Amino acid sequence: MKTLKYSLLLFISASLIFTSCKKDPYEETAPTPSNPGVTAGSLSIHFENMAGDSSLVFNTESYVTANNDTFTVSMLKYYISNIVLTKSGGGTHVEAESYHLIDASDLATGDFTLLNVPFGDYTAISFMIGVDSLRNVSGAQTGALDPANGMFWSWSTGYIQAKLEGYSPQSTAGGNQIIYHVGGYKGIYNPLKTVSPSFGTEVASVSSTVTPEIHIKANVLEWFTSPVNISIASTSFNMTVNQTSLDMSDNYADMFTVEHIHN
């Protein structure tokens, strides 16, 4: 056992010596054009959380819904999963282990990079809002899917696909709170949505020298409207699987727009 440990240590040290000239895994996938063997690079996605045309501000800013209700936001979290990029001229790139938890209060969670994306021009993106049904039935998970992240229903197994909390004078709940947890993954109230916010005429060109960034805006006001207007007075909180959670998922399905793409 000791010998094994020493051999391992030796091996690791040796590997370090040989790889120390590389800076980080990023550069590994985006080397100089002189390396003809490499055909894949990276693509970044930036989610910016908005309320209408303004960046979302927690607690202190009040917003007005389509129903003319006023509310503030204390929490906004949602899962983005199963990201698929469509290549110009056909073909797709599917991100492996594609699970991202976006917490609007932690800007870093809205920025992530897809690695090993084949070089090429991408003209469309699609992703799921929430965690696909398979992972909801596959037992204990980790990383973005760790139940410690607070996005998991213990009493009715499944991820909370999206969560919005705050306050509203129209709320009939204690302390004027508003609490909306949209969860579940099956049945007639299945809230899982796959959406494809349009690139318009823009293209994300992944190459050996360019890591494009897709800038996506998420508008929290969409939770309350289109197709179903939500009245905060009649729906101050909802934390189960029902018509209201389905309505909310139909509403927030169109909260994403591609603002622009940096190349």
Partner 1 sequence: MLIKNAIKYLVVAATFIVAASACEVDPPIKKELPANDIRMIIPEGWPYPEYDFTGNTLTKEGFILGRKLFYDPQLSRDNSISCGSCHQQFAAFSHLDHNVSHGIDNLLGVRNAPGLFNLNWNTSFMWDGGINHIEVQPIGPITNPVEMDESIANMVTKIQNDASYTSLFNDAFGTETVTSQLIFKAIAQFQGMLVSYNSKYDLYSRGQTSLTSSEQNGLNLFMAKCNTCHTAPLFTNYEFMNNGLDTIFTDAGRATITSLASDSGTFKVPTLRNIALTRPYMHDGRFTSLDAVLNHYVSGVKNSSTLSSQVAGGIQLTTTEKADIIAFLKTLTDNTFKNDERFNDPFAP
Structure tokens at 180: 């909306």
Nearer to partner 1, 241 or 255 (CB): 241
Phi, psi of 174 (to 5 degrees): -55, 135
Of 33-41, 46-54, 78-86, 237-245: span binding partner 1 (CB under 8 A): 237-245
* CA–CA distances in Å: residue 60 to residues 102, 112, 161, 255: 21, 28, 25, 22
* Residue 202 DSSP code: -
* Residues 78-137 interacting with partner 1 (rule: CB under 8 A): 136-137
Pairing of strands 213-219, 40-51: parallel
Q: Does 225 bind partner 1 (CB under 8 A)?
A: no
Structure tokens at 55: 């960046």
Give first-to-last CA distance, the chain, whole Å. Answer: 51
**Among 3, 17, 155, 175, interactor with partner 1 by CB under 8 A:** 155
Of 62-70, 88-96, 205-213, 234-242: span binding partner 1 (CB under 8 A): 234-242
Nearer to partner 1, 32 or 154 (CB): 154
Nearer to partner 1, 186 or 260 (CB): 186
Nearer to partner 1, 34 or 142 (CB): 142
Phi, psi of 37 (to 5 degrees): -75, -20
Tokens 């990383």 locate to 143
Q: Residue 120 and residue 124: Cα distance in Å, rounded?
A: 12
* Residues 241-260 interacting with partner 1 (rule: CB under 8 A): 241-242
Nearer to partner 1, 133 or 226 (CB): 133
- Number of CB atoms found within 10 A of residue 189's CB: 18
Smallest distance from the beta carbon of 242 to partner 1, in angstroms? 5
Structure tokens at 133: 């049904």
**Among 240, 250, 254, 259, interactor with partner 1 by CB under 8 A:** 240
Contact 102, 162 (CB under 8 A): no
Tokens 């110009």 locate to 88
**Among 7, 35, 55, 156, interactor with partner 1 by CB under 8 A:** 156
Site track for partner 1 across 159-198, x = CB under 8 A: ----------------------------x-x---------
239-171-184 Cα angle (round to 5): 15
Site track for partner 1 across 132-151, x = CB under 8 A: ----xxxxxxx---xxx---
Q: How many residues bind partner 1 (CB under 8 A)?
A: 21
**Among 120, 158, 166, 212, interactor with partner 1 by CB under 8 A:** 158
Structure tokens at 34: 């002189």
Using alpha carbons, select from 131, 59, 136 the residue that is nearest to residue 102.
131
The residues of the shown chain that bind partner 1, judged by CB under 8 A, are 136-142, 146-148, 152, 154-158, 187, 189, 240-242
